[in-house]
Amino acid sequence: MAMAAAIVATMPALKHLIRITFTPPFPRKLQKFHSLASLSPNFTQEGPQQQRLEQEQQNQLTNNNNTSRSSSSTSYFPKRGQTLELVCESLAFKGKGVCKVAGTGFVVMCDRALPGERFIGRVTRRKGSYAEVTKVETITPHWDLVDAPCEYAPYCGGCKTQNLSYESQLRAKEQQVRELTIHVGKFSDKVPEFCSIMKPIVPCVIQFHYRNKMEFSFGSKKWLPKELLGEKQVGNEKYALGLHAPGFFDKVLNVDKCLLQSEPANMVLAAIQDCWRDSQFGLTPYDVHSHTGFLKHLMLRTGRNAETGLPELMVNFVTSSYKPELLKPLVEKISAIPEVVSIMNNVNTSVGNTSVGEEEYTLYGKSTITEILRGLTFQISANSFFQTNTHQAEVLYKLIEDCAGLRGDGSQIVLDLFCGTGTIGLTLARRAKHVYGYEVVPQAISDAHRNAKLNRISNATFVQGDLNKIDESFGNNFPKPDIVISDPNRPGMHMKLLKFLIKLKAPRIVYVSCNPATCARDLDYLCHGVKEKNIEGCYKLKSLQPVDMFPHTPHIECICLLELF
């Protein structure tokens, strides 16, 4: 672990490494390497606090690095192009394997290496005291090996752990949350109540076809695996529709079917793949180098009809200009699929890679689809935010509601921070006196208002505002809440917001996190305070519940319940 940790300190691109560890038994000499979670999350805090935490991390990593190096008589660093026999010991951020060079203590990183796998790797890059290798040959496969059902699993970066048993994936995620809570959150696992605080991870019953939204890219350069590089491709054969190849912004892995999206969405994808390259239609993919071409992205969203419960699909073409006549053949073909009820065209004239357009047009059907969640109906537009895994969102929101502990007598105020389109707040509104929601994205606030009206909920107020830029007046336009729900994005909460919450002293906070590293950091502030700023923590962590929202990926959701001292 010492050398693995040193990678984080010396490699800026990996400075915020989040270790994913596994529970199979290790030799005693590897226990220390295996047990320590990696460290610093992505900071959005004020300068001095950020510097303090990063300096603590730097000191610890440097000491560990020196200890590991001192065990070797000479300094070791493999050369570029050198082949090494390696054993993967754990997974790191973005699913890269952490591997140790035998007899040296030196650690290298390898994409697509999994714990327990013994393999031959070739050194491809050197950066400071850190090196990357590419797997050349597997000698012994990893623990809990399963056959990945997706044909693109060896190449696609979307779900790299498909060939790891689901039970092993869950163990890794649960262990990651535990170690981050201890090492970043500074919660001791020696106290008796720690076992009752840390809950077992909630698995996802549906492990494939769970995503209700997928975004594919059109590309002028098709990415090919090494064994096919010799095949000559000319003209439209170079074009691709699929997912960006890992590490390439300008190459696209052509995908005919994705096992994460719904079957109707795969029908649409196959229908478009069948004809969009036909030269008679005059369709060209956008080229990110020359900034020419028409087709940029294909977004597929799946919902459910509120009356029948049957699936309904939205197809959104993102193009560089508005030329509906060019899309007409595709519209005619996919509108024949019964589940397709909406075909949209977002026009994005910028050179960036975003799929949100400056203008939006309805080419077929309606401009929104619906989804049902916790008994409420939500309208989803092309650019709306909505929980990507609807089935598991039901589980997640039920856990949030249980943590909130609303009495149900209509007497309590709920403050919903980072409310998005209002999904969490609206599911709680029926048991609350009033819900006040805050979100920075104007379109999300518009959707929240529309969803409240659609469900005839009148006790919810949604306000557009940046929670990273609040001032002393924040909180003056709503009554003191009994319960705070906070669901920030991956960077977590800004120090200004954390200070506000500590000053507010609401009796209960339910913290919903998609990044266990920043979650652990924020829990440390709320519970233990910040000594350098003379801020005293005022909350006690009562429970921490990991939830697996996205099988076969490293992403983890956590629900944390905090109560005032």
C-alpha 200/C-alpha 510 separation (Å) is 18
93 is in an annotated binding site: no
Active site residue 156: no
Burial class of residue 200 (count of CB atoms within 10 Å of its CB; 0-12, 13-18, 19+): exposed
C-alpha 219/C-alpha 222 separation (Å) is 7
Beta strands in 116-189 (DSSP E): 118-127, 130-140
Task: Give the CA diameter of the chain.
Answer: 73
End-to-end CA distance of the chain: 36
385 is in an annotated binding site: no
Supply 525's token pair.
């502030």
Q: Strands 413-417, 434-439: parallel, antiparallel or unpaired by DSSP?
A: parallel
Catalytic residue among 514, 519, 538, 560: 514
Supply 446's token pair.
């518009």
C-alpha 423/C-alpha 277 separation (Å) is 39
C-alpha 548/C-alpha 392 separation (Å) is 8
265 neighbors 256 (Cβ within 8 angstroms):
no
Residues paired with 217 in a beta bridge: 242, 297
Three-state SS string over 70-126 comes to HCCCCCCCCCCCCEEEEEEEEECHHHCEEEEECCCCCEEEECCCCCCCEEEEEEEEE
CA-based radius of gyration for the chain: 25
C-alpha 323/C-alpha 156 separation (Å) is 32
| Backbone phi, psi, residue 287, to 5° | -100, 120
- Reduce the DSSP state of residue 212 to 3 states and report it: coil
Supply 313's token pair.
């699909």
Burial class of residue 503 (count of CB atoms within 10 Å of its CB; 0-12, 13-18, 19+): exposed
Can you say whether the dihedral through the CA atoms of 183, 184, 188, 193 is positive or negative? negative
C-alpha 545/C-alpha 308 separation (Å) is 34
The residues, ordered by sequence, that sit 6+ positions from 24 with a Cβ below 8 Å of its Cβ are: 115, 116, 143
418 is in an annotated binding site: yes
57 is in an annotated binding site: no
C-alpha 54/C-alpha 39 separation (Å) is 9
Specify the amino acid at residue 218: F
C-alpha 83/C-alpha 85 separation (Å) is 7
The residues, ordered by sequence, that sit 6+ positions from 102 with a Cβ below 8 Å of its Cβ are: 85, 86, 87
Q: Strands 311-319, 295-304: parallel, antiparallel or unpaired by DSSP?
A: antiparallel
Number of residues that make up the chain: 565
| Backbone phi, psi, residue 274, to 5° | -70, -20
C-alpha 275/C-alpha 333 separation (Å) is 9
Residues annotated within a binding site: 387, 418, 439, 487
Annotated active-site positions, please? 514
Residues annotated within a binding site for S-adenosyl-L-methionine: 387, 418, 439, 487
